């Protein structure tokens, strides 16, 4: 069951006695835990019926005793075990999970790990409770997820603004959510997030960013690429070389895959190479402008300049100079 479905069930007052939240993506785990802590019980009920433990300091016996306590002046109580991956003897919770109290909602946050699916604990969790197993989202899924998140808050976001936001932040769902909330506070009566909002409130130049450099590279526009790199030189925090090189590698590696997709429509190509359909035109343009040999050469140059950027076979050339030299060679 997804985080959204768990919360939707809770809103309908449908509860299971045990919820085990595990895996690599903290955002979904934190979303469920936050709702459990602040929204299942009223403020008055929470005073008597909300208990929070932290795995590093929690004793398994204390956790079980709290779970077995009956609620006061309420239909249910909530027991949260946060950072459970740091708890010793967590398998000793098994007797309670095997026979849980139906008036207790026991929520366990087990981040960055997964319980062994072959263990008795896993079998009990599947039988007696609800498990949420999270994993990191693929980069190609980020634009759609971010767009859905904005819409769930009652707003819309321009396509270019969406891509600027995602390209700048990357795969950090919590930060994407926080940046969106920060912008929404400043929109006033407006309901649409624009490129100007991304520039003003997130701090990403709408003209000088890795996404625009990728576009300049795709169209083989050397003058524009140089202007963007010069901006990066003057504003080192805007786009460090460690952020730029992976963006360009993504452009050329995805383009490399295009050559095996002859005769297919753009939507099919997008699915096959694992990108958002909005980007396909860039990859097709890159394939046309560079050709197979040019794309292959670009990938080799990226590897070479990535090594130089960390000091291998380089005596300390500046990041801006490295980028300029590499781009000229690629386009040449």
42, 96: one domain: yes
Spatial CB neighbours of 112, under 8 Å, sequence gap ≥ 6: 23, 24, 26, 85
Can you give the CATH number for the domain in which 161 is found?
1.10.8.60
156, 220: one domain: no
Residue 206's pLDDT is what?
84
Residue 148's pLDDT is what?
94
111, 174: one domain: no
124, 232: one domain: no
Domain with 151, as residue range(s), is: 139-202
Residue 281's pLDDT is what?
86
233, 262: one domain: yes
Last residue of a domain, one of 171, 202, 233: 202
8, 100: one domain: yes
Last residue of a domain, one of 82, 102, 134: 134
Can you give the CATH number for the domain in which 107 is found?
3.40.50.300
Look up the pTM and report it: 0.75
Can you tell me which residue has the tokens 């003209």?
207
Burial 173-191 (b: 16+ CB within 10 A, else e): beebbebbeebbeeeeeee
Can you give the CATH number for the domain in which 250 is found?
1.20.272.10
- Which residues, given as ranges, of the chain have pLDDT below 70? none
Alpha-carbon distance 99 to 88, whole Å? 21
Residue 239's pLDDT is what?
84
Residue 141's pLDDT is what?
86
17, 90: one domain: yes
233, 273: one domain: yes
184, 280: one domain: no
114, 230: one domain: no
Residue 315's pLDDT is what?
83
Residue 138's pLDDT is what?
85
Last residue of a domain, one of 156, 176, 202: 202
Question: How confident is the prediction for the chain on average, in pLDDT?
Answer: 92
Instruction: Name the nearest CA neighbour of 211 among 280, 164, 144, 276.
Output: 164
Residue 155's pLDDT is what?
96
Residue 201's pLDDT is what?
92
180, 99: one domain: no
With helix as H, strand as E and coil as C, how does 261-319 read?
CCCCCHHHHHHHHCCCHHHHHHHHHHHHHHHHHHHHHHHHHHHHHHHHHCCCCCCCCCH
Residue 59's pLDDT is what?
93
């Amino acid at each position: 069951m997804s985080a959204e479905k768990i919360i939707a069930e809770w809103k309908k007052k449908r509860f299971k006695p045990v919820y085990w939240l595990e895996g690599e993506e903290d955002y979904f785990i934190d979303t469920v835990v936050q709702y459990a802590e602040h929204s299942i019980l009223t403020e008055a009920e929470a005073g008597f019926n909300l208990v929070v433990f932290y795995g590093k300091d929690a004793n398994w016996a204390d956790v079980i005793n709290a779970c077995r306590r009956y609620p006061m002046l309420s239909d249910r109580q909530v027991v949260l075990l946060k950072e459970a991956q740091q708890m010793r003897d967590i398998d000793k919770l098994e007797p309670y999970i095997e026979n849980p109290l139906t008036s207790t909602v026991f929520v366990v946050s087990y981040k960055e790990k997964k319980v062994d699916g072959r263990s008795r604990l896993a079998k009990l969790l599947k039988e007696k409770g609800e498990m949420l197993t999270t994993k990191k989202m693929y980069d190609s899924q980020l634009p759609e997820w971010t767009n859905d998140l904005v819409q769930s808050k009652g707003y819309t976001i321009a396509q270019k603004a969406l891509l600027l936001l995602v390209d700048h932040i990357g795969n950090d769902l919590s930060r994407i959510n926080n940046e969106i909330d920060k912008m929404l506070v400043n929109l006033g009566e407006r309901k649409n997030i624009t490129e100007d909002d991304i520039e003003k409130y997130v701090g990403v130049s709408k003209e000088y960013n890795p996404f625009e450099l990728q576009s300049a590279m795709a169209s083989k526009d050397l003058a524009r690429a140089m202007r963007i790199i010069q901006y990066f030189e003057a504003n080192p925090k805007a786009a460090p070389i460690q952020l730029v090189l992976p963006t360009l590698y993504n452009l050329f590696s995805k383009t490399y895959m295009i050559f095996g997709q002859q005769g297919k429509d753009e939507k099919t190509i997008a699915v096959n190479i694992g990108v958002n359909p909005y980007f396909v035109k860039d990859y097709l343009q890159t394939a046309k402008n560079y050709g197979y040999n040019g794309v292959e050469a670009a990938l080799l140059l990226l590897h070479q300049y990535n090594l130089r950027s960390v000091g291998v076979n380089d005596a300390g050339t500046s990041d801006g100079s490295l980028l300029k030299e590499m781009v000229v060679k690629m386009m040449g």
